[in-house]
A = this chain, B = another copy of it.
């Protein structure tokens, strides 16, 4: 059977196309009895409005984009993105939108696809994640009038964003370690040119400073959030005998644990370890990892919520949101 149109449904219900349209859009000015008749026909026939026709005239597609830039493509296996996508999906469901994913694997791809993404009117708005300050993709999107929400502090003013309180979390980690009287606290950070990397470093330094402690350069090492990079970074730190380490991701913390154990040292007796993320793999680690749990899924749904608000009320109405992180105390520190 060919697909039904509004006109067909109207004919079947003995009303005009306009009336059926009104019923579907829950508009007023339809007698309850007529409405019921139309609804009956709709549910019997299984009529579903044509999305393209609808958005052609309404300029709304019910589609939001989630943009994941190329520089994280190798990190995409990190559960972070899975959770984020789950959060965004569930947020999208709330506002009866669907999610389209823009996953770039090279900067070249970013350049090519961008006009199509942005200009075709195919999207109601986009969420850009894993930004690095000055990311060109974000800058380009921001330059258009496509509604935009960033996940993580964007490098550009005036862009609404959701972030977790990386700074407070790292601060908390430092305080926790100092209160337990660890005196040589090391740090394994994420990439320095990311807001997440910067904030977790800054928060940790501040937290130590609260106790009059500094973070010497030789107790800092950096990775890319992955377990392998944590292992390598820990090797560096080991030369300077820390008695505790705060890693800016659970993955790196796990790498660090492995490195420490490979050195024949035990956790937390010789070196305490704290991670950041709160993923399941932190629970089942040996020893279970003390970590700062960030609400990843909530970040995703919050971003959708903000986007929805912008779509409704305009972008002036929204403020950045900073979601709290929580210290989970387990055996590793």
Residues of A within 8 A of B (CB): 3, 46, 48-53, 55-56, 61, 63, 73, 76-77, 79, 81-83, 85-86, 89-90, 93, 96, 98-103, 105, 109, 113, 115-116, 119-122, 227-228, 258, 279-280, 284, 286
Partner among B56, B77, B119, B258 whose Cβ is within 8 Å of the Cβ of A280? B77
Report chain B residues within 8 Å CB of A119.
Answer: 3, 46, 48
The smallest beta-carbon distance between A173 and chain B, in angstroms, is 24
Report chain B residues within 8 Å CB of A63.
Answer: 100
Q: If the complex has contacts A93-B109, A121-B3, are A101 and B103 also in contact, measured as CB distance less than 8 A?
A: no
The smallest beta-carbon distance between A262 and chain B, in angstroms, is 9
Q: For the complex, what is the distance from the CA of A41 to the CA of B106, rounded to whole Å?
A: 28
Q: For the complex, what is the distance from the CA of A60 to the CA of B113, rounded to whole Å?
A: 18
List 18 additional A-B contacts (Cβ < 8 Å) besides A56-B56, A77-B79. Answer: A48-B116, A48-B119, A49-B120, A51-B122, A52-B52, A52-B53, A52-B121, A76-B86, A77-B279, A81-B82, A85-B103, A89-B103, A90-B105, A93-B113, A101-B101, A227-B284, A228-B284, A258-B284
In the complex, which residue of chain B has the Cβ closest to the Cβ of A50? B121
Q: For the complex, what is the distance from the CA of A178 to the CA of B61, rounded to whole Å?
A: 58
In the complex, which residue of chain B has the Cβ closest to the Cβ of A116? B48
Asked if B120 contacts A51 (CB within 8 A), the reply is yes
